[in-house]
Structure 1
Amino acid sequence: MNIEARARRTRLLGGAGAVLLLAGVLTVVIALRAQRSAPQPPASAASPVNVIPTGTTPPRPPAGPTATVPGPGQPNGPSSGSGGTRGLILPRSRPVRLQIASIGVDSTLRQIGLNSAGEIVTPPLDKDSHAYWLTVSPTPGELGPATIIGHVDSAAFGPGVFFKLGAMRQRAKILITRADGTVALFEVERVAEYKKNAFPTQQVYGNIDHAGLRLITCGGDFNSSISSYDSNIVVYAALVSVRSV
């Protein structure tokens, strides 16, 4: 290779390196901008309200034990049971659609489980962000805390399905369409933010005395050195009514 050719190749490689460096900087900038604009819940959002209707609980089929799954940085552990139940309890039926008008969510529900270490599998980062029902949790409407997770954002695609989850407040409505042709209406009890290294596993995933719902995403500060958020946002909700599709 002659000197002129080598020089030309060096210029091309240098230009390619500059482009790659610029792309990396843009990725970090996009991630930081997305994180700063994602709403975070105030302390007042964590104060619980009672949304479960009072009255006679309708008959329900026998329910099995509620699965307990680990939160970030937390070991698995046993759940504590309850002596009675409150509110409506529905039979098991796979959830297929999630709608939250107050934050503009309308997503088909995909399924996700646990990995070999017993931790929740991280959903894929796709351009069309979806919410995922955790298959080891109850189905929405069953006794226990049905769990749905989704991304807040990504450097590649921007805001995710739960980008505005931190903007939810007490008594907000959540609709879940189920495979049996019913639509379960949930209302928010509270919205809390937890550091990942202090995630309250039992409080989020443990057995409860009603048909509950947990919506979970990332929140808090974004650590660019590890490309991760330091907190989780958890929306607690309860079943208040049911109707046909």
Structure 2
Amino acid sequence: MPRLLRAGMGAAAVGLLLIYNSVDTTPAGDPAAAPAAPPAATAAASPPPSPAAPAAAPGAPVLKRAKPTRLRIPQIAVDAPFTELALGPTGQLDAPPPDDKNLVGWYRDGVTPGERGSAVVAGHIDTSKGPAVFLLLSLLLPGNKVEVSRADGTVAVFSVDSVETFAKNAFPDQRVYGKTPDAQLRLITCGGTYDKQKRDYLDNVVVFAHLESSHKA
């Protein structure tokens, strides 16, 4: 069951919270034979940081706001364009279109990659058309690089800090979406066991990364 957008409660300091879900609408069966259909909702993002956000550490790079245009992760052969994601009528973040397996989504009202805060990028692990852009996301290692090309002509280079898997019913909202003193990136997809009865993956894979440098494209 997709988790709805939440505001207030214990997550008030986090802002708008969403979570990536992949729900299979094909007949129950092995997901390798019948890949999951388009997710009903996708990853999460926090709103642009407020003046109350912690001060960045001395020397930590922070970029101005600029829309992301392309994501490259050489270690897992990702080279994909971005699409903007908006909220649907039920308060969920719309998923990237299911007819394009090589596409990542960015919540257009959230932090842009390179800005101070936690920028969130969502991608499918699979779709009805087969394996998708974030199929190998869980294989990333600390120190691997993630490059985000931006509309202002800069490339933000992030370094992976950790790759972790969380049960969807015990997702650490504050840790993933909370304010940060520097520019950070979260890459999110589905993972873990595929529940044939629920037609859904039980976990989320989250890559935590920080902005290491930037350069002109």
TM range (shorter): 0.7 to 0.9
Q: Is the CA contact (8 Å cut-off) linking 1:34 and 1:159 kept in structure 2?
A: no
Superposition pairs for residues 201-240 of structure 1, below 5 Å? 201-240=173-212
CA offset at residue 114 of structure 1?
2.1
Letter in 2 for 1:211: A
Q: Is the CA contact (8 Å cut-off) linking 1:178 and 1:184 kept in structure 2?
A: yes
Unaligned runs of 5+ in 2: 1-25, 36-45
CA offset at residue 115 of structure 1?
2.4
Q: Deviations over 1:100-138 (max 9, x none)?
A: 000000001111022234332233322433111111221
Q: Is the CA contact (8 Å cut-off) linking 1:34 and 1:153 kept in structure 2?
A: no
CA offset at residue 242 of structure 1?
0.6
Unaligned runs of 5+ in 1: 1-23, 36-65, 69-78
TM norm structure 2: 0.76
Q: Tell me, yes or no, if structure 1 residue 178 matches structure 2 residue 145.
A: no
Q: Tell me, yes or no, if structure 1 residue 96 matches structure 2 residue 64.
A: no
Aligned to 2:116: 143
Q: Tell me, yes or no, if structure 1 residue 85 matches structure 2 residue 86.
A: no
Aligned to 2:91: 118
Q: Deviations over 1:167-199 (max 9, x none)?
A: 011010000000000011000011110000011
**SS of the residue 2:88 aligns to:** coil
Q: Is the CA contact (8 Å cut-off) linking 1:193 and 1:220 kept in structure 2?
A: yes
Point out the structure with the larger strand share. 2
Letter in 1 for 2:65: R
TM norm structure 1: 0.68
Aligned to 2:133: 161
CA offset at residue 34 of structure 1?
8.1
Q: Deviations over 1:31-55 (max 9, x none)?
A: 24588xxxxxxxxxxxxxxxxxxxx
Letter in 2 for 1:124: P
Aligned to 1:243: 215
Letter in 1 for 2:109: V
Is the radius of gyration larger for structure 1 or structure 2? 1
Q: CA RMSD in A?
A: 2.2
Q: Is the CA contact (8 Å cut-off) linking 2:121 and 2:187 kept in structure 1?
A: yes
Point out the structure with the larger helix share. 1
**Percent pairwise identity:** 38
Q: Is the CA contact (8 Å cut-off) linking 1:89 and 1:142 kept in structure 2?
A: yes
CA offset at residue 225 of structure 1?
1.7
CA 1:34–1:204 in structure 2 vs 1: closer, same or farther (change >3 Å)? farther
Q: Is the CA contact (8 Å cut-off) linking 1:98 and 1:106 kept in structure 2?
A: yes
Aligned residues between the structures? 179
**SS of the residue 1:28 aligns to:** coil
